[in-house]
Amino acid sequence: MKATAKAHTNIALIKYWGKRDESLILPMNNSLSVTLDGFYTETTVEFQTELEQDSFILDGKVVTGKEYDRVTAFLDRIRKYAGKPDLYANVESTNHVPTAAGFASSASGFAALAASAVKALGLKISKEQLSILTRQGSGSACRSVFGGFVEWEKGSLEDGSDSYAVQVAPAEHWDIRVAAVVLSSKEKKVLSREGMKRTVETSPFYSSWVESIPHDLDNIKQGIRTKDFKKVGEIAEANCLKMHATTLAANPPFTYWHDTTMAVMRKVQDLRDKGIPAYFTIDAGPNVKVLYQPENEETIQTTLQEIPGVNDVIVSRTGQGVSYI
Ligand code: 2P0
């Protein structure tokens, strides 16, 4: 009753922003991401009949409080699914993801946890079903079940059984790169859960955001299929700006951007003016991810490193989905 799984994080090019069901984690809109090989979580789950509760060790430290509660609540769902409600587990995770704001370690974390727990329990389930289970830990995590380019279909059923990720193209289809630009600024103030809830409830821009998604998705998928970097980059950057615009119109208004966030955005636009195709995207935090093609790696890395306030630039390729170790 023991298994170890590895899952990579992902970066959304079409963002998941807003839930229609907070308990089952059902999104308002479809989203599309690239799985990144640079950041991952490895998790070992061991179920033991003699345990009276779960334990969770992250990067060698015992976890308690809210983070622990989120893991046990998620294991409760898996236990229930397996028909073994009283079987507890020791969970040990190692995050190879910078903990700085804006990096979704929850995506790789819940994908690795779901995959290892399911295997430890001996459940034989499809990737689709694994994605459905993973989604209930963290929405964006359901995309990390798959590698390459991945779409999360929002579904329409109330029980969430048609809300899961599907692979649009495997990692081998297209070698595009993502530079994660780590800023020296501190933790974000508005958590993504709270931020998306406030936006759905109060932002007058929110309905336009939802309405614009099908068009963005059709176009970006066409761009991925034909490996049209300019098209994919332009859609991803515009989609990110649209998502962040919804937060500015929320009540109370908020933004995830810091001064350096904007400096990086301007630098990316400068690079384009100089003929180097590069596009940015930003999640619910101040860090920026820059999309570029392999031939420009050196220029991109040096240019981004030189921006004052930038701590680190970590390069990723398109990565694989969950695997067992
Ligand atoms: C995304 N983000 O598509 C979007 C873009 C942030 C901005 O998914 O509440 O940690 O666990 O479902 O998945 C961050 O939200 O939120 C996120 P929950 P999650 O990647």
User: Structure tokens of 74?
Assistant: 């998620």
Identify whether the C-beta of residue 14 lies closer than 8 Å to the C-beta of residue 213: yes
Residue written as token pair 């590698």: 147
d(CA 17, ligand 1 centre) in Å: 7
Residue written as token pair 């999309």: 291
196, 200, 213, 256, best to mutate for ligand 1 pocket (most atoms within 8 Å of CB): 196
In this structure, the number of other CB atoms found within 10 A of the CB of residue 133 comes to 25
Index of the ligand 1 atom closest to the CA of residue 10? 20
Per-residue pLDDT of the chain (325 residues; tens, 9 = 90+): 999 999 999 999 999 999 999 999 999 999 999 999 999 999 999 999 999 999 999 999 999 999 999 999 999 999 999 999 999 999 999 999 765 535 667 999 999 999 999 999 999 999 999 999 999 999 999 999 999 999 999 999 999 999 999 999 999 999 999 999 999 766 567 889 999 999 999 999 999 999 999 999 999 999 999 999 999 999 999 999 999 999 999 999 999 999 999 999 999 999 999 999 999 999 998 999 999 999 999 999 999 999 999 999 999 999 999 999 9
Atom 14 of ligand 1: nearest residue by CA position: 192
d(CA 138, ligand 1 centre) in Å: 7
d(CA 51, ligand 1 centre) in Å: 32
SS3 state at 182? strand
In this structure, the number of other CB atoms found within 10 A of the CB of residue 294 comes to 9
Rounded to whole angstroms, what are the CA distances from 251 to 171, 248, 285?
A: 40, 8, 18
Ordered by where they begin, the domains of the chain are 2-173 (3.30.230.10), 177-316 (3.30.70.890)
